[in-house]
Structure 1
Amino acid sequence: MAIQRMDNVAVVVDDLDAAVAFFSALGMELEGQAQIEGLFADRTVGLDGVRSDIAMMRTPDGHSKLELTKYHAPAVFEAEPRNPPPNTLGLHRVMFAVDDIDDTIARLRAHGAELLGEVARYENIFRLCYLRGPAGIIVALAEQIG
């Protein structure tokens, strides 16, 4: 049996409204929001007393989703360092294809994004960059140029 699809990637954030605004500025669409709590949540994630709010963001093509989660209980665990470098083990980066990388960077900077390096060219195929987004997540952007 094969998997059907990848449904979403979740990011735990400390400010849900700011994260929704950030990913909306990127071009994602808010699909819906919900409060999550109860025995099913505790059993699913393996924590006791889960109480959280989620916002499901969808790419314009409808194929990819990002779940933004704000935990109210139990208390959020903060890993060190707070903003790990790109070569840290584990999941911490998500990449988006964009039409205009410069315009996208400008829109995201208005929401606190910071370039980790600079916009670089990969041969004559892509312009690429890494930005630091909500909750320290690295958001990579790729503009196809050739």
Structure 2
Amino acid sequence: MPKNKLLRMDNMGIVVASLDTTVLFFEAIGLKLEWRGMIEGKWAGRVTGLSNQRVEVAMMVTPDGHSKLELSQFLEPAVVEDHRLAPVNALGYLRAMFTVDDIDELVNRLTGQHGATLVGEIVNYENIYKLCYLRSADGLLIGLAEELNKK
């Protein structure tokens, strides 16, 4: 058995075009803003390999407190690539999946009030889950799942 064992996954990071828009989008899903601030200075560049970085960060947390998203908007240096519209079979970041209690209501709210678009359709997977993929107005791909036959 390895001497050093994994304790937990702290968060998943996503670089976004608009922190304000993306925070509102994830709040509409049900995540809560835990912290927001600027990350800059030599220490930050030493971690990321970007020497002169200025990044505004928002830490979002799920209602159970176990999962977090770190949303980052780079002010310096400029974003160098954009993968938001990559197809679902592209290498790299694909999507974050969230379990919700009413997928139809949330999809209607996200598409109607937050500019999200349904990627395919809402499907029933073996009467266990209703599933779908959405793209936020900023192009981020997320998955939604609603457990059917909840106990």
- TM-score after normalising by structure 2: 0.92
Instruction: Tell which deviates more after alignment, 82-91 or 8-17.
Output: 82-91
User: Does 1:88 pair with 2:90?
Assistant: yes
Is the CA contact (8 Å cut-off) linking 2:117 and 2:137 kept in structure 1? no
Match for residue 103 of structure 1 among 105, 128, 135: 105
Is the CA contact (8 Å cut-off) linking 1:131 and 1:139 kept in structure 2? yes
The whole-number CA distance in structure 2 between the counterparts of 1:121 and 1:40 is 47
1:16 alignment partner AA: L
User: Does 1:116 pair with 2:87?
Assistant: no
Deviation at 1:135, TM superposition (A): 4.0
Instruction: Tell which deviates more after alignment, 82-91 or 38-47.
Output: 82-91
Relative to structure 1, the CA distance from residue 134 to residue 92 in structure 2 (aligned partners, 3 Å threshold; closer, same or farther) is farther
Query: Which consecutive unaligned segments of at least 5 residues does structure 1 have?
Result: none
Match for residue 125 of structure 1 among 124, 128, 132: 128
Deviation at 1:76, TM superposition (A): 0.8
Q: Which runs of 4+ in 1 moved over 6 A?
A: none
Deviation at 1:134, TM superposition (A): 5.3
Deviation at 1:107, TM superposition (A): 2.0
- TM-score after normalising by structure 1: 0.95
Deviation at 1:93, TM superposition (A): 0.5
Q: Among the aligned pairs, what percent are the same residue?
A: 51
The whole-number CA distance in structure 1 between the counterparts of 2:92 and 2:47 is 21
Question: Map of 1:19-58 to 2, 5 A cutoff?
Answer: 19-58=22-61
Residue 136 of structure 1 aligns to a residue in which SS? Answer: coil
Give the number of aligned pairs.
145
Instruction: Tell which deviates more after alignment, 63-72 or 128-137.
Output: 128-137
Is the CA contact (8 Å cut-off) linking 2:130 and 2:146 kept in structure 1? yes
1:33 alignment partner AA: R
Root mean square deviation, CA, Å: 1.2
Q: 1:137 maps to what in 2? A: 140
Query: Which consecutive unaligned segments of at least 5 residues does structure 2 have?
Result: none
The whole-number CA distance in structure 1 between the counterparts of 2:137 and 2:38 is 20
The whole-number CA distance in structure 2 between the counterparts of 1:79 and 1:24 is 23
Is the CA contact (8 Å cut-off) linking 1:13 and 1:134 kept in structure 2? no
